[in-house]
Amino acid sequence: MNDNSRGFFGERPLPEFVVDPQVLRRRTRRDALLFGAGTVAALASARLLLPNAIRIDDEVAESLYSPRRTVPTYAKTQITPLKNNYNGATPDPGYIPGWHLTLDGLASGVSVALDIRSLLTHFSIHEQITRLVCVEGWSAIAWWAGVRFDDLLRAYSPMSQARWVQVESSVNLDASGNPDPYYVSLDLASARHPQTLLATHFNGQPLTVEHGAPLRLLVPVKLGLKNVKAITKLTYVAQEPRDYWAERGYSHYDGI
Amino acid sequence: MGCSTTPRKEGISTSRLPEKPDVLVAKRHHLLVRWSHWLNVPILLGLILSGISIYWASPIYQHKSDPLTGNFDVAADIGIWICGHVPGLRHYSSPPDWVYNHLSLGPGMLAPALRLHWLCAYAFMLNGAVYVVGLISGGGWRGLLPRRTDLLDAFRMLRYYLGIPFAKLTRRQWPHPSFNTKYNALQRAAYFSVPLAGCLSVATGWAIHKPMQFHSLAAIFGGLDSARVWHFWLMWIFVLFAVPHVILVFADGWDTFRGIITGWSARVTRSEATGNER
């Protein structure tokens, strides 16, 4: 039996000593009270820390981000179905013919309106098959094509102090079909990621209304809820702008 | 309570120090090990309750949605079954939510659940580090390492546990197998694998939480979707550990429970005592 007590990994005999029973009793009472108080204090501080938990995790996510680290890409055989995940009702496609993208907060100081034709003709189109991950836990591998956000940023530079872009869709509806504009905050570092697209095509076809025709954001380093469908406006700002889901208790940065 | 056998004899005048037999105690658990043990109670509770609320948002066990109810979640099926078969629950207002109402923060609580889960997850990692420091500075890690004799000894322990009801019924002597180690083989298996499950839970948790930045970590577990399956079943290891853990500490008695509070055990066996002298 002695093989247990030899060598570096061998179990050592427990240190033993003699105590007054009174000392043992007092120590038991003291330690039980201390651990009880410690656990209650931990629970109380958790209540205080809870609102900051998201901020802490946002900081962690931001420090994990690297513009050089790309997300995995997949083969066409690995594509999975992607459901229409509009938060509310799917908009009526009537907005599509008159659609244009407004750019605000540019270095030039004037706002710019682009239609889909000028986007498609002035920028090169990039294809990618990447995973879109929902905050709920499900994900889908889909085949996208579109303009690199970085190319748009180079062609229409934001004002120098801009660190964020607010991405908006004015055509978004709530569950009962009433207008419910959707807006998210996106840090410009993530917007400049080489795999961040302003997508125009899905599965080799122009986007359908279910997937955000004619232009949606595809930012695979973020949760799906940042991937705004039917974008109507991009506003470059210095301070972190409003975010639809952050206002509803979710995190702000959403880096995955 | 072996420590309170001495009656107080205040009246004896011959000595101001009455003969109180002192107790021999063994140092069993380092202070940091005890702290991390107790902090794990609220942390794991928070992780499991919020984890099941997160599970609700996209259950990993689904089936084709029921044409009548639209239900596709196996956990909802379990709730429906429970409400249909357990007396007193027949008129439960929302059977598909029964599981979530009783084992989580509730359905539709994704945002607060994520917040609580992250807070508890960071606390769990810190607490794990405290535990490791305690194991190293107290030397307790040696008591957790598997031995060559463990398989046989585990069978002896299993036979002992399984024989208890029979021995009780027939009023037969049924002595606990004796070991000259800190833990018996079954305890060692449990106390060795639960920290391992903790490490795997943290690794799969990061793989799920940051599947792009940590995509190679997710790939180790077979990708994002199977990392979620791993993470789910790792939770059950904690549950399946905690239930007998709590039952057995009550069965084993006060000394074992006091041990994780004070760190001291007064149940020093002769073999341990002689082992100390060698």
Give the pLDDT of residue B1: 36
Give the pLDDT of residue A53: 84
Which range (A51-60, A112-121, A187-196, B13-22) has the least confidence?
B13-22
Give the pLDDT of residue B265: 92
State pLDDT tens for residues B230-254. Answer: 999 999 999 999 999 999 999 888 9
Both tokens of A58, joined, read 């946002």
Decide which of B90 and A63 is more confident.
A63
pLDDT over 50 at B4, yes or no: no
Closest Cα in chain A to B218: A72
CA distance A24 to chain B (A): 8
Give the pLDDT of residue B271: 45
Question: Do the strands A112-114 and A139-148 form a parallel or antiparallel pair, or are they unpaired?
Answer: unpaired
CA angle B212, A209, A137 (to 5 degrees): 30
| Burial zone of B90 (CB within 10 Å; 0-12 exposed, 13-18 middle, 19+ buried) | exposed
CATH of the domain at A109: 3.90.420.10
In a domain, A166, yes or no: yes
**Whole-angstrom distance, CA of residue B43 vs CA of residue A121:** 55
A226-to-A114, A131, A247, A254, B93 alpha-carbon distances in Å: 22, 14, 13, 8, 36
Give the pLDDT of residue B194: 97
Report the DSSP beta bridge partners of residue B62. B73
> Nearest 10 degrees: CA dihedral of B58, B63, B69, B74?
-70
| Burial zone of A47 (CB within 10 Å; 0-12 exposed, 13-18 middle, 19+ buried) | exposed
Confidence bin at B269 (pLDDT 50/70/90): low
In a domain, A256, yes or no: no
Examine the domain organization and report whether A20 and A44 are in the same domain: yes
Closest among B89, B61, B90 to B76, alpha carbons compared: B61
- What residues in A contact B272, CB-CB < 8 Å? 13-14, 16
Question: Got the DSSP string for A155-193?
Answer: HSPBPTT--EEEEEETT-B-TTS-B--EEEEEEHHHHTS
Q: Is the peptide bond before A214 cis (omega within 30 degrees of 0)?
A: yes
**Whole-angstrom distance, CA of residue B252 vs CA of residue B184:** 13
pLDDT over 80 at B13, yes or no: no
CA distance A245 to chain B (A): 9
In chain A the first and final C-alpha atoms are separated, in Å, by: 52
Give the pLDDT of residue B278: 32
Examine the domain organization and report whether A169 and A232 are in the same domain: yes
In a domain, A244, yes or no: yes
The CB density around residue B126, as the number of other CB atoms within 10 Å, is 13
Contact: B20, A20; criterion CB under 8 Å: yes
Examine the domain organization and report whether A39 and A143 are in the same domain: no
Examine the domain organization and report whether A242 and A150 are in the same domain: yes
Contact B18, B256 (CB under 8 A): no
The CB density around residue A253, as the number of other CB atoms within 10 Å, is 24
pLDDT over 70 at B274, yes or no: no
Strands (E), A50-192: 101-104, 112-114, 125-133, 139-148, 164-169, 182-187
Looking at the 3D structure of chain A, how many domains does it have? 2
State pLDDT tens for residues A121-134. Answer: 999 999 999 999 99
Give the pLDDT of residue B270: 47
pLDDT over 50 at B277, yes or no: no
**Whole-angstrom distance, CA of residue A214 vs CA of residue A200:** 6
Q: Mean pLDDT, chain B, as a whole number? A: 88
Domain-terminating residue out of A49, A64, A79: A64
In a domain, A254, yes or no: no
Both tokens of A231, joined, read 């974008």
Examine the domain organization and report whether A143 and A18 are in the same domain: no
Decide which of A157 and B14 is more confident.
A157
Examine the domain organization and report whether A141 and A213 are in the same domain: yes
In a domain, A124, yes or no: yes
State pLDDT tens for residues B129-162. Answer: 999 999 999 999 999 999 999 999 999 999 999 9
Contact B224, A141 (CB under 8 A): no
H-run or E-run covering A237: strand A233-237
Examine the domain organization and report whether A130 and A38 are in the same domain: no
State pLDDT tens for residues A72-123. Answer: 999 999 999 999 999 899 999 999 999 999 999 999 999 999 999 999 999 9
Closest Cα in chain A to B224: A139
In a domain, A205, yes or no: yes
Closest among A190, A221, A212 to A82, alpha carbons compared: A212
Contact: B182, A11; criterion CB under 8 Å: yes
- What residues in B contact A134, CB-CB < 8 Å? 58
pLDDT-above-70 percentage for chain A: 98
Residue range of the domain that includes A217: 70-248
The arithmetic mean of pLDDT across residues A250-255, rounded, is 94
Residue type, A186: L
State pLDDT tens for residues A223-239. Answer: 999 999 999 999 999 99
Ramachandran sector of residue A54 (left: φ over 0; alpha: ψ -120 to 50; beta: rest): alpha
Contact: A53, B268; criterion CB under 8 Å: no
Confidence bin at B273 (pLDDT 50/70/90): very low
H-run or E-run covering A57: helix A21-64
In a domain, A19, yes or no: yes
Domain-terminating residue out of A21, A37, A64: A64
State pLDDT tens for residues A9-68. Answer: 888 889 999 999 999 999 999 999 999 999 889 888 888 888 888 888 999 999 999 999
Closest among B26, B25, B23 to B6, alpha carbons compared: B23
Confidence bin at B32 (pLDDT 50/70/90): very high
Nearest by CB to B27, from A4, A15, A42: name it. A15
Domain-terminating residue out of A38, A64, A90: A64
- What residues in A contact B147, CB-CB < 8 Å? 4
Contact B202, B213 (CB under 8 A): no
Confidence bin at A166 (pLDDT 50/70/90): very high
Examine the domain organization and report whether A81 and A43 are in the same domain: no
H-run or E-run covering A48: helix A21-64
In a domain, A21, yes or no: yes
CA angle A216, A221, A225 (to 5 degrees): 50
Examine the domain organization and report whether A51 and A105 are in the same domain: no
Examine the domain organization and report whether A19 and A146 are in the same domain: no
Examine the domain organization and report whether A190 and A220 are in the same domain: yes
Examine the domain organization and report whether A127 and A185 are in the same domain: yes
CA angle A100, A103, A104 (to 5 degrees): 140
Decide which of A146 and B65 is more confident.
A146
Contact: A53, B122; criterion CB under 8 Å: yes
